[in-house]
């Protein structure tokens, strides 16, 4: 490898991250990947945790770093892993998020309805492979799950993948939520492969349990934090309003690439048929949204400008949770508050939003964590030991909420 | 306060620990307290975790430091705390472990049978108060639970006391078991008092849950680690054998103060009636035991010298666990192994020991953690929220074990 | 204080930051201060250190936190500090950077020529005080240095101010440059006041020396890192070009507020005479610049679009350093490289830039650090002890550089 | 390697330490190495830094861990290192301190006069090699410096050896002196070999400078801390007195092995001629000394018992420093203080001790740190760059001191 490609990244989480190969270096240099420098991992969570400004760029590097460590562990336990496989696995995890758009869940809810980021990641990986003479083909297979040795896919995407390992670690580091720390080092040292399945040595059970607990804590404390939900709801409403205005002919500021998505409903079919959408997609990032939010604060439309001003100055909606779905009659007071702020009833659905949050996305009932017992047998973690909390953790919890714009004078 | 008493301790866990008052300074200087420098917090756990060499001295300072922070939090929430109360609470937590002997649980099992360390702590605190013109009387009341404002006692001894907060933090730091980290800062900031009861604000629930999980992990990973159990079993057998030899007239090396306990069975009554026992107790520490262990490696008695040599060179017993009590018939193989090592059947109970470990000491069904809800009401954490794991955590788990001396050539 | 104002910020650097008062809470909520959420502390350094995304918002909170600790230390040493003084000092440090624009040094070099950020900070503080019935007047005095007790000003701005303490700590944390860590806790505990001057107790000398060393390391390793310099040079050239185009009548994208500065040369006089400039200034942040950079990548002007594309995709200029000023004849090869890339000689000064960097801004020969000796006397640190490195550190080092656009195929 | 030898040690400093080979595992299990569990790295420094209880056992494991990382770095830069060499280098660093006795410098000053610990380490390594069929012969060569490839010896013993890297890191971690942290990771990644010499890449210069600064800070702040000096002086006097008593026929408690050294002056010649000395040496550790200190508190000799009681209860001598050697006339006041405490003039040299401390042991004028410049050339760090502090750091600083027993009522 040429000396100039033996780059090292400083990472406050792991100390240093080495670039393992020439190909990885070239991928990191590619504009598709550099774009991830401009997409935050946690969207608007910085409004709650001011340190949470880290990007998907950094996360992807971190996950690649952990992949290298995991593969070293497996090799040290006697599993043969070819150099090409090792590189492919690192490439696949490096690029696993490359299809994320700005504020991803927000955009998925508003503009990219029906087009999951995994699909876009795969398309962009294939595109990169085309640009690089097929050198990413094995990585694509591993990412898709079509590579024969399944455990590679599991390292990329499963309950114990390097994606989760890195993001939990990293999110906990940058938010400062110390309780979310997981024992990544120990978990990785406990990895093994049996019958082509990724497993954990039985003496790592407590670390896994801790990992599941930490993950659960991070969901409620960070990912589904009430203030983050409010900010995200507001952003969704702002974009929804901007689209309506745009589609009804009003002039709405947006960068050319973002404009394409603001003025069209781009389905998966369109992505497939017209490459311009994918190309434009690779041009947009958090800054496009922020530029809009700032410009829209001066838009003549009351709804749009009000919401944007309030996001920018952190005058966020308030939220109330419930274990049951709300009854519409519960909202009389809220409607009255909105009217008192001069908001006519026709606009109420921008300023009062119902929703639900659950940890369903994170608690998988399908995927299992497998434990390798001392006698060499493999069993599901839930059966591996007396771990009452494991079962408890697999409950899906759902919370209903209502967000609304409270008058500013009534802070709470 | 004279300048020379404004001492600061360096603490790798918290950075710095200030001495809050003159009285505290004098107590730290007292030989009773200096003795804690020579008593390790985790006994023989260093044989598993080589960093776990920290002492009860350091732990006591740390707990005092956290007490200061907790009281500041309560004051900032409007609770009036007199300066005298603040000092007394810090003194009480500083001295809460002063009655611990070397390898405390070991000694309690062998030599101090029936005399709990809490009793000795209280006696020594009273003795110190006598020496200091009654200046510790309020601290004694808080420690005993007789001081009118109950929450002080809860800060010293309860599910959320500063003792637990510090030892979990500290043990996790020095063992390097990263998963055991707890959010002490956040928990302390969430403390409040309602109706003279220590409570946690509801937004601290996740931190409490994490704290309980971390504690559980530390029990199984550290406090009840199989190798620690083996080492402790061996130490108990060594002392048991030494006593038998001593009582049957053999010469057995021991420092004069430790000798007193080795040659007598000292009951609580004797502690009360003859002050010499308490005075001798304040002279013994880990070094007395280590000096014996080293000297006994050369004792002519095979049992005593064998066990001591093996502790010193870390050739520990092996252990096997079971969820049910063992059947004596299961041990034929073990007896045969012992015979193969030249150990006659009469000695087998030194070299094969049955026991059980459980988290019962840590999982209290009696004490509750109270949560202060947003509406001001107080309820038990188990009812405060959807926390399936809280209940799961309160199960008492019991494990049965057999430890025995395996032949050295059959390492496992 | 109303409960809702007792907010706590999570800070990965210090754990938690408390809001000390009502007034501070209101200032943090103010749009002027919220704007700092959108201004990164280290500008383009994230291109070298991907974690360095932290903002002036977070830094200002951290400096305020340290100010609280410093004042507590001084009080504990017997110095009377009124509550109003304590609040004013915290307000002053909280707002010390409020006049920073996006990529501050860049803008100062291009658009705000002659208007230092300290001036703007002061104007904005005065404006806030007007808005809040004069409640910031004491803070303004402390910031300006006109408050009678000088040590307050020194805590805000001097060799040992809380600004430096926080930014060194924070920059080192987020870049991951572990060697830059300073012993903030110890330094703050060593602070004292003698004759109204901020001093350090003599037993803190080694910590101060370490602090100066760490600061020096951070300058060369981070603040004046060659890649940061290149990126900043490119940004300056992009803005310079955009201004030229704008002033010669070309259409150049910019948000309305940023436009005002792009199309005008705003002097300090104009700031004073026309409040619209200050108001517009409070509207611009890093996002305005990023939005321009992104939009300008498609501008028809070759110079502008090329530079912007290269910043965005991190194809940065190369740099060569020299201890002496360069001789113009040394650049023939560079000019040829530029010509080979199709750049006509008239444009070369955008693509080859000379400059110099020095630690002069950081090494003050005027300000001294004073040490309080054990006998109570005060002397300059350079004379306080055998510290050969202190003198060595005070040398001003100057480096000359040339940056230029190397052909992409010749990576190095 | 058998599964049971793939042990992992928890290390709070590095996370985990892997045992790299079968041989290393067997060495760690050996009683010679297990003895290091009972020898503290920093002797009596725990009286100042209560966390500083870590042992040479842990340090040796840590240095071995860093050696593995350093060799990986060198391999990644294209240097061929045979597996046997790698193991030998790790063995050599693992055992580099195996000849340390308890409180090493103290014993060297009193009992082992003239026998440096390096000599004993070498003898014990040779003995181990004999016991293990010569498997340590290459390690012995590397340790001695006779192995052809010199850089291995430099990794074991030089200005940049893994010994220093680990102990600075570890001492700083356990003392809590945050300012002593060094960038081990970065330094190791910057290692290279040119012409069989260990060098540092030029971009690591700042890290080296920081390393030298941190080392200097640790000397004055920890290793030569005034309280440590006092405690060590007292221990030396206690042992000196005990020897005098023993040699004049008094009964003085000591374990049999330590007795051998207490009652004899063991020269290097005797070590060579009579293997019993080396064998006894491998039996003694810190506990032997502590047991003596405790027993001696009750010895009828006033001098011995007084000093030992005061060490145990931390009533340490006071110290005064001077840049020049003291004039005997300066001590009238001290002599008077001693007489006031009832100490007759004949005993004054136990209770008032003169000495000097210097960083000469650490600042080598002979060994150089070599820098590999970008053009491939190698030069001394002092010439490599503008680093004024490097030269400043190489000054040898010498301080003279007097320690004496102050009356207890005059605390200061």
Would you give the DSSP letter of residue A327?
Answer: P
Kind and range of the H or E element at C238? helix C226-247
Residues on chain A touching B221 (C-beta within 8 angstroms): 206
Series of mean pLDDT values for 10-residue runs along chain C (412 residues): 68 94 95 97 95 97 98 95 98 96 81 84 96 97 97 95 96 93 92 96 90 88 93 96 94 92 87 91 95 95 97 95 89 93 94 88 69 90 69 76 83 41
pLDDT tens digits, one per residue of C342-376: 999 999 999 999 999 887 655 655 678 899 998 88
DSSP letters, B91-154, are: HHHHTTTTT--TTHHHHHHHTSTT--HHHHHHHHHHHHHHHTTTTTHHHHHHHHT-SSSHHHHH
Phi, psi of B106 (to 5 degrees): -60, -50
Residues on chain C touching D168 (C-beta within 8 angstroms): none
pLDDT recorded at residue D67: 98
pLDDT tens digits, one per residue of A389-408: 666 666 777 889 999 998 87
pLDDT tens digits, one per residue of A157-191: 998 999 999 999 999 999 999 888 888 999 999 99
Category of D320 on φ-ψ map: left (φ > 0), alpha (ψ -120 to 50) or beta? beta
- Count of CB atoms situated within 10 Å of the CB of D335: 16
Q: Rounded to an integer, what distance in angstroms lies between the CA atom of residue A336 and that of residue A339? A: 5
A311: its two tokens: 């996001």
Q: Rounded to an integer, what distance in angstroms lies between the CA atom of residue D118 and that of residue D98? A: 9
Q: Which of A176, A314, A318 to mutate to test the interface with C (most CBs of C within 10 A)?
A: A176
Q: What is the least distance, in Å, from the CA of D201 to any CA of chain A?
A: 13
As beta bridge partners, residue C371 has C200, C379
pLDDT tens digits, one per residue of D200-215: 999 898 899 889 888 8
Q: How far is CA B64 from CA A318, B17, C189, D97, in A?
A: 40, 9, 19, 37
Mean pLDDT of D341-359: 92
- pTM as predicted: 0.93
Answer whether A5 touches D (CB < 8 Å): no
pLDDT tens digits, one per residue of D78-95: 999 999 999 999 999 999
Q: Strand C8-11 to strand C15-18: parallel, antiparallel, or no bridges (unpaired)? A: antiparallel
Q: Rounded to an integer, what distance in angstroms lies between the CA atom of residue B354 and that of residue D295? A: 36
pLDDT recorded at residue C181: 87
Q: Which of B16, B21, B69, B187 to mutate to test the interface with C (most CBs of C within 10 A)?
A: B16
Average pLDDT of the residues of chain D: 91
Q: What is the least distance, in Å, from the CA of B132 to any CA of chain A?
A: 42
Among the partner residues A177, A214, A393, nearest to B389 by beta-carbon distance? A393
DSSP letters, C31-87, are: HHHHGGGGSBTTGGGGGTSTT---BHHHHHHHHHHHHHHHHHHHHHTT----HHHHH
Phi, psi of C358 (to 5 degrees): -150, 160
Checking if the pLDDT of D316 tops 60, the result is yes
- Radius of gyration, alpha carbons of chain B: 23
Checking if the pLDDT of D177 tops 70, the result is yes
B110-137 burial string, b = 16+ CB within 10 Å, else e? Answer: bbbeebebeebbbbbbebbbeeeeebbb
Q: What is the least distance, in Å, from the CA of D15 to any CA of chain A?
A: 7
For A53, the 3-state DSSP assignment is coil
pLDDT recorded at residue A127: 96
- Its sign, for the CA torsion D117, D123, D128, D131, is negative
Answer whether D204 touches C (CB < 8 Å): no
Q: Rounded to an integer, what distance in angstroms lies between the CA atom of residue B13 and that of residue B46? A: 18
Q: How far is CA A174 from CA A151, A167, B401, C45, C185, in A?
A: 30, 10, 43, 17, 21
Which residue in B has a C-alpha nearest to residue C14's C-alpha?
Answer: B185
pLDDT recorded at residue A2: 47
Q: Rounded to an integer, what distance in angstroms lies between the CA atom of residue B270 and that of residue A318? A: 66
User: What percent of chain A has a predicted confidence (pLDDT) above 90?
Assistant: 73
Name the residue among C354, C352, C355, C357 with its Cα closest to residue C406.
Answer: C352
Residues on chain B touching C186 (C-beta within 8 angstroms): 16
Residues on chain C touching A173 (C-beta within 8 angstroms): 12
How many C-alpha atoms does D68 have within 13 Å on its Cβ side? 16
Q: If you count residue pairs, one on B and one on D, with CB atoms under 8 Å apart, how many are there? A: 114
Answer whether C110 touches D (CB < 8 Å): no
Residues of chain B with pLDDT under 50: 1-3, 410-412
Kind and range of the H or E element at A114? none
Domains in chain C with CATH codes: 3-95+136-224 (1.10.3210.10), 226-358 (1.20.1250.30)
CB D50 within 8 A of CB B37: yes
**CA dihedral angle for residue D247, residue D253, residue D258, residue D260, rounded to 10 degrees:** 40
Q: Rounded to an integer, what distance in angstroms lies between the CA atom of residue A273 and that of residue A292? A: 28
Average pLDDT of the residues of chain A: 91
With a CB cutoff of 8 Å and minimum separation 6, the contacts of A370 are: A194, A197, A198, A199, A200, A378, A379, A380, A381
Would you give the DSSP letter of residue C220?
Answer: I
- Its sign, for the CA torsion A53, A56, A57, A59, is positive
pLDDT recorded at residue D365: 57
Q: Rounded to an integer, what distance in angstroms lies between the CA atom of residue B184 and that of residue A351? A: 38
CB B239 within 8 A of CB B62: no
- Its sign, for the CA torsion B68, B30, D321, D363, is negative
pLDDT recorded at residue B363: 62
Name the residue among C49, C53, C48, C64 with its Cα closest to residue C7.
Answer: C64
How many C-alpha atoms does A21 have within 13 Å on its Cβ side? 17
* Structure-token match 């604060």, residue found: A297
Q: Rounded to an integer, what distance in angstroms lies between the CA atom of residue A63 and that of residue A165? A: 7
Task: Give 3-state DSSP helix, strand, coil % of chain A, rounded to 5.
Answer: 60, 10, 30
D247-258 burial string, b = 16+ CB within 10 Å, else e? Answer: eeeeebbbbebb
Among the partner residues D47, D57, D256, nearest to B50 by beta-carbon distance? D57
Q: Rounded to an integer, what distance in angstroms lies between the CA atom of residue B295 and that of residue B259? A: 14
Alpha helices in C111-202, H assignment, sequence order:
117-131, 137-144, 150-156, 162-175, 184-189
Alpha helices in B274-361, H assignment, sequence order:
275-281, 286-296, 302-312, 332-340, 348-351
Answer whether C118 touches A (CB < 8 Å): no
Among the partner residues B255, B312, B314, nearest to D294 by beta-carbon distance? B255
Phi, psi of C234 (to 5 degrees): -65, -40
Q: Strand A398-404 to strand C352-358: parallel, antiparallel, or no bridges (unpaired)? A: unpaired
Answer whether A348 touches D (CB < 8 Å): no
User: What percent of chain A has a predicted confidence (pLDDT) above 70?
Assistant: 93
D72-88 burial string, b = 16+ CB within 10 Å, else e? Answer: ebbeeeeeebeeebbbb
Q: Rounded to an integer, what distance in angstroms lies between the CA atom of residue A301 and that of residue D160? A: 67
A124-138, A388-402, C381-395, D147-161: least confident range: C381-395
Q: Strand D370-372 to strand D197-201: parallel, antiparallel, or no bridges (unpaired)? A: parallel
For C386, the 3-state DSSP assignment is coil
Checking if the pLDDT of A1 tops 60, the result is no
Name the residue among B137, B187, B180 with its Cα closest to residue B162.
Answer: B187
Checking if the pLDDT of D108 tops 90, the result is no
Using N-to-C axis directions, what is the helix angle for C286-296 and A286-296, rounded to 10°? 110
Residues on chain D touching C210 (C-beta within 8 angstroms): 179, 213-214, 217
């Amino acid at each position: 490898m040429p000396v100039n490609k033996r780059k090292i990244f400083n990472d406050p989480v792991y100390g240093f991250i080495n670039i393992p190969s020439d190909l990885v270096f070239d991928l990191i240099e590619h504009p598709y990947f550099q774009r991830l420098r401009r997409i935050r991992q946690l969207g608007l969570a910085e409004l709650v945790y001011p340190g949470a400004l880290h990007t998907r760029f950094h996360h992807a590097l971190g996950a690649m770093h952990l992949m290298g460590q995991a593969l070293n562990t497996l090799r040290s336990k006697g599993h043969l892993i070819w150099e090409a496989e090792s590189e492919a696995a690192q490439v696949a995890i490096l690029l696993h998020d490359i299809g994320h758009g700005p504020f991803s869940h927000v955009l998925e809810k508003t503009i990219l309805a029906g087009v999951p980021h995994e699909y876009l990641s795969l398309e962009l990986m294939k595109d990169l492979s085309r640009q690089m003479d097929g050198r990413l083909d094995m990585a694509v297979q591993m990412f898709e799950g079509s590579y024969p040795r399944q455990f590679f896919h599991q390292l990329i995407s499963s309950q114990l993948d390097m994606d989760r390992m890195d993001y939990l670690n990293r999110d906990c580091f940058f938010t400062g939520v110390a309780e979310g720390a997981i024992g990544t080092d120990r978990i990785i040292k406990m990895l093994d492969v049996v019958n082509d399945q990724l497993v954990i040595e039985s003496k790592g059970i407590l670390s896994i349990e801790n990992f599941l607990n930490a993950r659960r804590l991070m969901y409620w404390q960070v990912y589904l934090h009430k203030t983050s939900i409010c900010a995200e709801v507001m952003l969704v409403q702002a974009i929804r309003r901007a689209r309506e205005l745009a589609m009804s002919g009003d002039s709405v500021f947006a960068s050319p690439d973002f404009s394409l998505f603001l003025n069209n409903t781009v389905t998966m079919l369109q992505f497939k048929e017209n490459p311009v959408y994918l190309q434009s997609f690779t041009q947009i990032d958090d800054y496009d949204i922020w530029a809009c939010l700032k410009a829209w604060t001066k838009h003549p439309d009351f709804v749009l400008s009000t919401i944007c001003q309030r996001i920018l100055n952190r005058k966020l909606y308030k939220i109330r949770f419930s274990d049951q779905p709300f009854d519409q009659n519960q909202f009389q007071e809220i409607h009255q508050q909105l009217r008192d702020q001069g908001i006519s009833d026709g606009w109420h659905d921008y300023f009062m939003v119902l929703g639900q949050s659950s940890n369903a996305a994170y608690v998988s009932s399908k995927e299992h964590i497998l434990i390798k017992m001392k006698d060499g047998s493999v069993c599901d973690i839930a059966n591996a030991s007396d771990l009452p909390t494991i079962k408890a953790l697999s409950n899906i919890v759902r919370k209903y909420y209502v967000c609304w714009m409270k008058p500013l004078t009534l802070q709470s």
